[in-house]
Amino acid sequence: MENSLFQLDRTMRSTGSAYGHGEVAKEFLVWKAECRRDMWEKPFDMLATSVVIPRFHETDVERFRDTMDNQLEELRWQQPREYVVDQLETIAFYKEPLGSPRMVPPKVNDRCNQKALLDQWASLFHPKNITIAAVNVPHDALVAAYERLPYKHSAEAPHHARSTPSTVSSANEAAQFYPGRHAVEHESRAGVMGTKPDMDPEVIAAIGVVTNGREDVKKYAASLVAREVVSSALHPATVPNYWGAQSFYRPYGTAGLIGYTIRCAPSKIESEISKAAAAFPATVDDAAVARGKSRAALRVASEQLEQARDYLDFISTSSHSAEELMGAINGVSKADIDGVLKAVVGQKPAIFATGDSHTFPVVAALNKP
């Protein structure tokens, strides 16, 4: 970043702003700030300048390397279902970016030095790849603020000119899926936890197959509803389930990953797989489709549209509008859901498991224990 983290933090705090970063669909890296409507220009200026001329200072790099290790550990313990789905992505797909980890693995953390980061930035952050977006800011004012940055982002700059352009594309993501790949990460979670030595032995696993991505809005809507149909079959919406099976769906560009996670005692693995497999029917009834559409619309509104920061991610990375997506969800038919389920249930899934087990049952297909 052009400014140090201390300078950036101080400016953000002085304007009552908050800022952060994230990743969307393994295709976009996002930096964003939440500000008062009358004080958005200074935070935007600092974030945009940091993207145009990053300052990879060694002390800041070391700080973030420690941060990435800590975030991975927190995810592993506080949100183990999210952790196993993240790990499943790395074995279910064999090419970048879908097969790349969402967080820096500890074993390659030391490779994130100043030179490597600069080379990666020069390759990915080409001016033609930059998108700017805002909520509750006039479009002309946003463009003007970017154009009057103190440093111009030029494709002719030496670091861009000598970089290797990224060739990553979402055109053929489904072909990157590795059916049947299997990985088990043994860990005695009670022993590692230390602060809770009497916790019961447990296994957390993710089982998934490739499905539709989010570029085609109709196919995307069908997969969103199909996920909710499966979720409804697994457990009632009003009953939280800490243990047992939960469905998941990770959309990317032209492909996605759909399946279920399991959290249970080692002795209950096979019974939980059987229960989860039964939630992937060969066909569904109209009532299940109606429930799925309502739940899918609610989930999209809650996770992508309700909060300004989430809506900003949506409008800056989606090829369709919120109205188009909601309309597509409302238009999903029984035949659409049957088509999605038929495409996924016969596939041999990829599996990742962690916990008190050295083995995990081989699952022949998503709807077969």
**Which pLDDT does position 198 carry in this prediction?**
67
Q: Which residue has the higher pLDDT, 103 or 292?
A: 292
**Measured between alpha carbons, how far is 44 from 196 in angstroms, rounded to an integer?**
44
Asked if residue 182 lies in contact with residue 354, where contact means CB atoms within 8 angstroms, the answer is: no
What per-residue confidence (pLDDT) applies to 161?
Answer: 84
List the beta bridge partners of residue 244.
263
Amino acid present at 139 = H
Statement: residue 138 has pLDDT above 80: yes
pLDDT of residue 1: 47
pLDDT, averaged across the chain: 89
The pLDDT score that the predictor gives to residue 335 is 95
| Topology of the domain comprising 5-161 | Cytochrome Bc1 Complex; Chain A, domain 1 (3.30.830)
pLDDT at residue 235 above 60?
yes
- How much is the pLDDT for 152? 84
Tokens of 226: 């199909």
List pLDDT tens digits, range 295-349.
999 999 999 999 999 999 999 999 999 999 999 999 999 999 999 999 999 899 9
* Inter-CA distances, 331 with 218, 261, 303, 367, Å: 8, 28, 20, 26
pLDDT at 240 (0 to 100): 67
What pLDDT band is residue 218 in, cutting at 50, 70 and 90?
Answer: very high
Per-residue confidence (pLDDT) for residue 112, from 0 to 100: 84
Q: Which CATH number fits domain 173-355: 2.30.30.40, 3.30.1380.10, 3.40.50.300, 3.30.830.10?
A: 3.30.830.10
Q: Cα(254)–Cα(251) distance, rounded to whole angstroms?
A: 8
- Judge contact between 344 and 258, C-beta under 8 A: yes
CATH 3.30.830.10, the chain: domain bounds = 5-161, 173-355
Look up residue 293 and give its two tokens. 């559409």
DSSP annotation string for 62-74: HHHHHHHHHHHHH
